[in-house]
Amino acid sequence: MEKKTVGIGLVGAGFMGRCHANAFRSVAGLFDLPVVPRLSMLADASDELARRGADALGFERSTADWQALVRDAEVGIVAITAPNLLHAPIALAAIAAGKTVYCEKPLSTTAASALEMTGAAEAAGVTTLVGFNFLHNPMIRLARDIIASGEIGEVTGFRGRHAENYMASPDAPHSFRTDPAGGGALADIGSHIVSMARFLIGPIAEVQADCRTIHPTRPVAPGSADRAPVEVDDMTHALLRFENGAAGSIEANWAATARHMDLSWEITGTKGALAFSQERMNELLLWSGTPGRSGYTRIEAGPAHPPYGAFCPAPGHHLGFNDLKVIEVAELLAAHAGQGSCGPDFREAYDVQRVIEAMQESDRARGWVTL
Amino acid sequence: MEKKTVGIGLVGAGFMGRCHANAFRSVAGLFDLPVVPRLSMLADASDELARRGADALGFERSTADWQALVRDAEVGIVAITAPNLLHAPIALAAIAAGKTVYCEKPLSTTAASALEMTGAAEAAGVTTLVGFNFLHNPMIRLARDIIASGEIGEVTGFRGRHAENYMASPDAPHSFRTDPAGGGALADIGSHIVSMARFLIGPIAEVQADCRTIHPTRPVAPGSADRAPVEVDDMTHALLRFENGAAGSIEANWAATARHMDLSWEITGTKGALAFSQERMNELLLWSGTPGRSGYTRIEAGPAHPPYGAFCPAPGHHLGFNDLKVIEVAELLAAHAGQGSCGPDFREAYDVQRVIEAMQESDRARGWVTL
Amino acid sequence: MEKKTVGIGLVGAGFMGRCHANAFRSVAGLFDLPVVPRLSMLADASDELARRGADALGFERSTADWQALVRDAEVGIVAITAPNLLHAPIALAAIAAGKTVYCEKPLSTTAASALEMTGAAEAAGVTTLVGFNFLHNPMIRLARDIIASGEIGEVTGFRGRHAENYMASPDAPHSFRTDPAGGGALADIGSHIVSMARFLIGPIAEVQADCRTIHPTRPVAPGSADRAPVEVDDMTHALLRFENGAAGSIEANWAATARHMDLSWEITGTKGALAFSQERMNELLLWSGTPGRSGYTRIEAGPAHPPYGAFCPAPGHHLGFNDLKVIEVAELLAAHAGQGSCGPDFREAYDVQRVIEAMQESDRARGWVTL
Amino acid sequence: MEKKTVGIGLVGAGFMGRCHANAFRSVAGLFDLPVVPRLSMLADASDELARRGADALGFERSTADWQALVRDAEVGIVAITAPNLLHAPIALAAIAAGKTVYCEKPLSTTAASALEMTGAAEAAGVTTLVGFNFLHNPMIRLARDIIASGEIGEVTGFRGRHAENYMASPDAPHSFRTDPAGGGALADIGSHIVSMARFLIGPIAEVQADCRTIHPTRPVAPGSADRAPVEVDDMTHALLRFENGAAGSIEANWAATARHMDLSWEITGTKGALAFSQERMNELLLWSGTPGRSGYTRIEAGPAHPPYGAFCPAPGHHLGFNDLKVIEVAELLAAHAGQGSCGPDFREAYDVQRVIEAMQESDRARGWVTL
């Protein structure tokens, strides 16, 4: 029996576009899906770019007009990896067309516009998913299950961080990342650690942040000798209190010289603790207190931690970053076919963005901000 | 301009078959290839199995007759993931048909038959590749480049291991793995550390091994109460001397309770050292001796380590096990199109097998065996 | 030629008193000192306790009257390990008697009284030392030298923590540690990470803290069923800005279930970075950016890192916690003999205490406090 | 009540002599001992050296005549840190004088002479102890207890190593270490991993070794341009079988460029496993197999692991190398006072030496040697 298919319409063929395409190509051979993706159409900024992208990534058709893609009858899922400023108009058009919408993070450049997108999606009843791919790691799900089970007791403390070094050089140029509308280290990567904190512990009630610009100017373009002022943060440290009473801190830092992917945290509970870093994404540390034998146990990912088994029947064989995107897409396809809901959806992405904006506001106000 | 394609004929749809199929599906979206794979035909033990495999893995056609697949005009590359005993007949038929042959390890169950396959391939001038996928890790290539550059001086010592726990239980049953023809921990996983030692340091001149059976009997089938004697090793420790004068030891152990994938080694040179474990496959440790600052540096995989960049433009994002297979397949396709040679080829796999058999012989003889 | 000796008068024979005594007994055999300590007199709360302490720790004489000890002609150095409330009166009396004063941390229970002690010591011109022993680790000094040399560029970020679990249980009872005068996790162990931040980076300009009480009541005594409210913090997270422009955060937590001694930090500079944890106190991580080889180098303590060589001529042999106290005492004795100054002195301990109190004030005020 | 004392007579004031003296000075303040050591007399090669050593290390008297020391009425324990060739005559004289004998490893330069010393000690009924100090680490004792309890099942495999780099340079000169009588990496440091293997698992039944000289010549003296051939091993890899059926390998290597103190092992049992490295001597890794949560647990040393508590009442505060010597001396003093026996005694040291010599013989014979 032939499986049902769904046409994928991808907008944007850059880094994340390639990553989406790869996930859609791989997923059907790894997961038993209710609906199989077809790489139907790719849109990019020009006909030429779109055609080349479609050839490279294996899409059937291409267009320079994302509106045509959104309206296309064969397209059931619109995947948005376009520049951040375009997320809102594309998503709103896709929602209006009744399509499932799969959008890269950040959902939008402002919480206000993210809320508008969320409201539209909820009113239309369409399935949405935002690409906080790190949440789909089997070890992160294991962590959530452990916390939910009460195994580490009540959560008391959280200490999180997302630190990379891609903007560490004062000569890393301006780009959309440094645009005051939605830019800065906190918005760009701090959103990952905020989303993970929420995923694992729950809503955040209050924040107090210190946003710092390390390099006051940057080149206006790659290699340019002209420099322009930087208006966004390179590094933010923040205090946070969760609704359930836990408290802690986060750091977002894109000038963390020594770090490539330190999306990491320790969660302390009254009976145990958990620790994780994306630097060793196939491991979770779990502390339990057998007398004389207490210590962190290094759990290696394996088939006991779904959906690892979809990739390999043997433990210890390592998932990679691109595999997280495959898991994300598998859940999207299941939700599109009506089998459960996927997450994080637009509502969740909006809530993350509210936390980010509250942190930015607390920095300006030099005091706590309640959400 | 449409790219040239090559038809893939896959024999076997088990664990490694899925892994091959996934790699062939993914590779064209990640690598810029001279020839693009088409999943042309899948063969399995019955029509039904083959048809189901083809559906699940995305092959165009299926057959219960691997001979038909090997002769098929659309098939340019024959990929063999069938049981080990079938490697030789399938490969020989594919060679006779002038096909590129991509065979899972071990190449065959005996060195003699591996030599026959090697001779046939070399006489026919066909491209061959054997699936020692761990060699395709960018960090392993970095290690080889560092050694070749002389950066760690002359290699003096090697200490290697491949330890897993999939046969640690006395109730893990008999299977092809425990077949005296080609079975045992040394042949099954010891071959990985032997191939890696050769890849990094060069030919092995002499060996002395101690092969041990830990569990004298195992169930004749999964869950069976009937037990039959085990004639192969569960654990082998071996001494080895390389042609270039370096010396060391390896361990092969499939009853290593605490280990899932400890394919690991330390290589000592006169000026520096390197260390690696597949447990942290995205890291390479490099020692260098700045006074007062000497120590192992933990290098994280990134675009500076080709072909990592084909998967992700940002460092620290982790490749997974399946990605190694994609790299392997990318090289196979390039070699098939006449762009350089890929490796390890049949000749190399035969040489690995000779080392394995010399170790087994040294165990029986209780003395050194010269290769 | 006989060496000059100095009489040690120790007040308090508990955990830290034993530790002091051990250090004074060991130091002369390990360091080449200008003056050799004699264990002259020990004072404790009663004649009996003092006599037993003196016997156990090898002191020549004992007394229940610390005032007699302070005045004793043979005592040149007064070592104070008595309860925190007694630090001030004992130290002030010792200063008045012209003695060198070696005081355990915290210097006093309030910054005001610490300032009075500091003023008295400076006016009298006596040598003082406060027991922030973790600063005397050769790896911490190596870190300071590296920072001072400019090797990691300008320091931009600091992320520090002192987390232990000795008060993690809700049944850990009240004690001097939970006394509102000078108690709480921040004062008790947060002072270590604050002193280390100052030692490595310099003065702190502004703070904003969140002090939390995790367990609202605790037993009034060990094993008691009666519980009394807790008025001090179990866990504090704080933001901080340094005078030199660096920014960061600290955590002080004595209810960190999984941690015994996580006095740890990462310091990011514009050209490199350093990381350390007391959990692996014989290692320092130094990041430097050789292209394709960048990463953290794990430096193991050895004779290249003074004064490690005083303990062992071979690298990698590990110093322990008690050895840090021996180093502290060696520096105290040298300073007492007029060979340089030791640190941290009373002034530095007072400055640490001001930071602690500013954090507590910022918590109450829910805003930044400038020092 | 004054405690009984015992006079210590130390022969040799070099690295290990200082280490002994420090341990004897410290031990009484840390352990509750039945007998307290007095640093009674120190012997060295000349009056001048002995006098200076005694001053530096705090001994009451000194002598250039070790025979006088051995006969001295106040000396109850003779501690031997003299050159290896002198171990036998000093120990035999001390045994004849009825003294407790505390000898640094190796017990002697040949197994034959070690056997003679053992026979003499046993005939005289004197207490003996040989300085395999690494065995006294609380984490090693914890490992032995865990193995003895059956918690990891039957031991099946052992993989051990002692690797350092103090002879890695071809310009490291000849010394007693390269003397064919008792020299070489295997005898010098391989003895530590052999003693630890025996301590943890039991007697070794068969061995097969490969002894390699990496640098064929070395300077005849430090800094000399004259070089002489090297007749001992720089690196040995060996296979071993234990009497209880376990099997494994060891490496001894003093030219291991990247290693300062890699005295390390992994022990695999049928139900669990243990791993340790002296590089992190305050940690023991214990594997246990809770489904979905299996992994190595990193146990940090603390008061739950005697005699850690003698040094510090709080966990995680780290013992150092010198502390191991203090533990060794505490046990020696207890055994001297008739409270239990200490170990490893001369018999055990002889057995270790037999294993070393069997390995050397197996290298020459190119085959297994049965003990």
Q: Where are the alpha helices (DSSP H) in A74-217?
A: 84-96, 111-124, 138-148, 185, 191-200
Write phi, then psi, for C221 (nearest 5 degrees): -155, 165
**Which residues on chain A are in Cβ contact (under 8 Å) with C253?**
157, 268
**Which residues of chain B make contact with A21, given a CB cutoff of 8 A?**
29
Say yes or no for a CB contact (<8 Å) between B316 and A28.
no
Q: Which of B257, A325, C318 has the alpha carbon at shortest distance from D319?
A: C318
Check CB contact under 8 Å for B322 and A321.
no
Instruction: List subunits contacting chain B, requiring 3 or more Cβ pairs under 8 Å.
Output: A, C, D
Output the average pLDDT for chain D: 96
Cβ pairs B/C, distance under 8 A: 38
Mean pLDDT, residues D10-35 = 93
Of D29, D300, D320, the CB nearest to C318: D320
Q: How far apart are CA C283 and CA C315, in angstroms?
A: 12
Using DSSP's 3-state secondary structure scheme, residue A217 falls into strand
Q: Residue D191 carries which side chain, given as an amino acid letter?
A: S
For domain D138-280+282-317, give the fold.
Dihydrodipicolinate Reductase; domain 2 (3.30.360)
What confidence score (pLDDT) does residue B342 get? Answer: 85
Amino acid at D322: N
- What was the pLDDT predicted at C63? 98
Among C294, A281, C299, which Cα is nearest to B279's?
A281
pLDDT computed for residue B260 by the predictor: 97
Asked if pLDDT for residue C1 goes beyond 60, the answer is no
Beta strands in chain C (DSSP E): 4-11, 35-43, 61-63, 75-80, 100-103, 128-130, 155-163, 204-212, 217-219, 227-229, 235-242, 247-253, 262-269, 273-277, 283-288, 295-300, 369-370
Between A15-30 and A47-57, two packed helices, what is the crossing angle to 10 degrees? 30
- For chain A, say whether B29 makes contact (Cβ under 8 Å): yes
So what's the pLDDT on residue C257? 98
Q: Which residues on D lie below 8 Å from B286 (Cβ)?
A: none
CA distances, B59 to each of A298, B12, B55, B184, C158 (Å): 39, 12, 6, 33, 54
User: CB of B63 within 8 A of CB of B43?
Assistant: yes
pLDDT of residue D340: 83
State the nearest Cα–Cα gap between B27 and chain A, in angstroms: 9
Contact B297 C300 (CB under 8 A): no
The model's pLDDT over B225-250, given as tens digits with 9 standing for 90+, comes to 999 999 999 999 999 999 999 999 99
In angstroms, what separates the C-alpha of D259 from chain C's closest C-alpha? Answer: 8
- Find, in chain C, the residue whose alpha carbon is nearest to that of B143: C293
CB contact under 8 A, B315 and A28: no
Per residue in C201-238, pLDDT (tens digit) is: 999 999 999 999 999 999 999 999 999 999 999 999 99
**Whether pLDDT at B214 is above 70:** yes
Q: What is the mean pLDDT of residues B309-332?
A: 96
Query: Which of C155, C237, C262 is best to mutate for the A interface (most A CBs within 10 A)?
Result: C237
Which is it for the CA torsion C172, A276, B267, B321, positive or negative? positive
Domain A4-133 part of CATH 2.170.120.20: no
Q: Is C222 exposed, middle or buried (0-12, 13-18, 19+ CB in 10 A)?
A: exposed
Q: Could you read off the pLDDT of D199-221 as tens digits, one per residue?
A: 999 999 999 999 999 999 999 99
Q: Calculate how close chain D gets to A283, using CA atoms only, in Å.
A: 10
Q: In this complex, which of A29, A261, A319 lies closest to B57 when CB atoms are compared?
A: A29
**Mean pLDDT over residues B327-341, rounded?**
95
Pick from C247, C269, C287: CB nearest A237: C247
* H/E segment holding residue A242: strand A235-242
Predicted confidence (pLDDT) at residue B1 exceeds the cutoff of 70: no
Which residues of D are less than 8 Å from C279 in CB distance?
300, 316
Residue C29 is nearest to which of D56, D300, D320, comparing CB atoms? D56
Rg of the Cα trace of chain C?
A: 21
Task: Provide the residue type at D212 as one letter.
Answer: R
CA distance A135 to A141: 7
pLDDT tens digits, A152-203: 999 999 999 999 999 999 999 999 999 999 899 999 999 999 999 999 999 9
Question: Sign of the C-alpha dihedral, residues B253, B254, B259, B265?
Answer: positive
For an interface test with B, which of D240, D268, D294 has the most B Cβ atoms less than 10 Å from its Cβ? D268
Each residue's pLDDT tens digit, A246-263:
999 999 999 999 999 999
Q: Say whether residue B297 is in contact with chain D using an 8 A CB cutoff.
A: no
B110-137 pLDDT tens trace: 999 999 999 999 999 999 999 999 999 9
pLDDT category of residue A288 using cuts at 50, 70 and 90:
confident
Q: Say whether A317 and B321 touch across the interface (CB within 8 A).
A: yes
pLDDT (0 to 100) of residue D2: 63
Do residue B238 and residue D239 have CB atoms under 8 angstroms apart?
yes
Q: How does pLDDT run across A307-334, given as a tens digit for each residue?
A: 999 999 999 999 999 999 999 999 999 9
For an interface test with D, the pick among A146, A280, A285, A293 (most D C-beta atoms closer than 10 Å) comes out as A293
Flag whether pLDDT at C136 surpasses 60: yes
pLDDT greater than 70 at residue A2: no
Neighbours of C244 (CB within 10 A): 12
Q: Is the pLDDT of residue D140 over 70?
A: yes
Peptide bond into D83 cis (omega under 30): no
Mean pLDDT value of segment B290-312: 96
Count chain A–chain B contacts defined by CB atoms under 8 A. Answer: 115
Domain ranges of chain A: 4-133, 138-280+282-317
Amino acid at D201: I
Distance in angstroms (rounded) separating the CA atoms of residues B48 and B57: 14
User: CB distance from B322 to chain A under 8 Å?
Assistant: yes
pLDDT at A1 over 70: no
Number of H helices, E strands in chain C: 10, 17
Which contiguous run of DSSP H or E holds residue D208? Answer: strand D204-212
Q: Check pLDDT > 60 for residue A335.
A: yes
Is A205 within 8 Å of chain C by CB? Answer: no
Q: What is the rounded distance in angstroms from the CA atom of residue C14 to the CA atom of residue C11?
A: 10
Torsion angle of C-alpha atoms D172, D178, D183, D185, degrees rounded to 10:
30
Structure confidence at residue A282 (pLDDT): 98
Interchain pair D237, B256: CB under 8 A: no
User: Would an 8 Å CB–CB cutoff place C217 in contact with chain A?
Assistant: no
Asked whether the beta carbons of residue B249 and residue D248 sit closer than 8 angstroms, the reply is: no
> Are residues B157 and D210, on separate chains, in Cβ contact within 8 Å?
no
Give all chains having 3 or more CB-to-CB distances under 8 Å with chain D.
A, B, C
ipTM: 0.96
CA distance B266 to chain C (A): 16
Q: What is the pLDDT, as a whole number, of residue C15? A: 86
Say yes or no to pLDDT of C82 above 60. Answer: yes
